[in-house]
Amino acid sequence: MARPKTHIMSLLANRRFLKMNGLGNEIVILDLRGTRLSVSAAEAAAIARDPRSHFDQLMVLHDAHAPRHDAFMRIYNTDGTESGACGNGTRCVAWALAADREMGGPGADRLILETAAGELPTERLGDRLFTVDMGAPRLRWDEIPLRDPFHDTTGIELQIGPIDEPILHTPSVVNMGNPHAIFWVKDVEAYDLAKIGPLLENHPIFPERANISLAHVAARDHIVLRVWERGAGLTRACGSAACAAVVAAVRKDFSDRIAKVTLPGGDLTIEWRASDDHVLMTGPVELEWDGTLAPSLFANVA
């Protein structure tokens, strides 16, 4: 007689989470500092399936690896894959830690958060306004990375549609902790990004896939952007994509080094600082609710 299957309850069950957003970019923060717990790809995808804990990015906090860091972050996309950076999510984490400080915890107005892609220093400018130092962009073809060598990454040979009349072509490519391809267009709403985004995200030229943006330069200090986010899909905002767009625009002499980037969820201010090559992103955050992860989320997770 076969024994009935038993399921080991995930240790994440009943853990507290914060549901936040940065310009509508859905963020969930799960604080695992002080524990040895981790989140698997399947558990991250399960958390995303619950409407109350749905996210574009899941920010999981672990103990810092070095004393100068306030936390180590692992960042998950909706499909459970990991991301190297998330500017909107980092601002949300900075708010959560600052709020923790006000309740006697270890938060601070100036924090240094650590990710697999490197350090992300943050600074609180107002109650819900934060700046994140996203570091220096990576611009060489093998740093982005691309499958094929391109000497000039301000515009690579890639198009979608007929050869003689492509729908989109010649994107700029930048790595801002994750790979970004930016297509320059006159109207960001004139394309079915939900249809073409997955094709471009998974194009063989991007061995680690890529975030796909449509960018319109409205003025030298204003870019309008729509983003298909790697592993998450259409998003109302993507901080690293906004950074990548300004870097790419400056390199093409479309933009000044400080520009407003308008996304469907609102505006970010991006500065590509000449003094040290770092990209600074400033924008707001919003707390939506505080909840706990239902045990039922993990019932079918191996």
Q: Which residues share a beta bridge with 235?
A: 227
- What SS3 state is found at 203? coil
3-class SS shares of the chain: helix, strand, coil, % to 5? 20, 35, 45
H runs (alpha helix) in the chain:
41-49, 87-102, 193-201, 239-251
Count of residues making up the chain: 302
- 92 is known as an active-site residue: no
**Cα–Cα distance between 233 and 36 in angstroms, integer?**
31
What residue type is 182 in one-letter code?
Answer: I
Give 293's DSSP letter: -
Q: Return contacts of 272-278, CB within 8 angstroms, 24+ apart.
A: 272/137, 272/243, 272/246, 272/247, 276/136, 277/136, 277/137, 278/133, 278/134, 278/135, 278/136
In the chain, the amino acid numbered 131 is T
Marked catalytic residue, from 94, 238, 285, 297: 238
Indicate if 238 belongs to the active site: yes
Active-site choice (20, 29, 86, 249) = 86
The Cα 122–Cα 109 span in angstroms is 8
Residues designated as active site: 86, 238
